[in-house]
Amino acid sequence: MINAYILLSMKPGKSDTAILKMRKIENVEKISIVAGDYDIVVRVHVKSLEKLLIVTDKLQMIEGVRKTTTQVIEKEIAL
């Protein structure tokens, strides 16, 4: 299984409708609106890199998404 964070930059005023669409995408585990260089951080959980591409593609097709940066998780410790 592959986990990844996808960092999104958004066009102003489009976040609410975009998030509604993101929540419907399969394999999206978590969506966080953040304050900083990016606007939204999405965590995805997919079976393969091919599936990751599909999720990334779906995300960048959403109206309002300006740019995506994908960070694939190599190792993790969590509570």
Count of residues engaged in binding another protein, rule: CB under 8 A: 27
Report if residue 2 touches another protein, rule: CB under 8 A. Answer: no
Determine, following the binding rule CB under 8 A, whether residue 75 of this chain makes contact with another protein: yes
50 counts as binding another protein under rule CB under 8 A: no
Taking the least distance from each CB to another protein, the nearer of 61 and 77 is 77
C-beta separation of 31 from 22 below 8 A: yes
Contact 78, 48 (CB under 8 A): no
DSSP state of 79: -
DSSP letter (8 states) at residue 53 = H
Position 36 contacts another protein (CB under 8 A): yes
Contact 4, 43 (CB under 8 A): yes
Give contact residues for another protein (rule: CB under 8 A): 4-5, 19, 23, 28-38, 41, 69-79
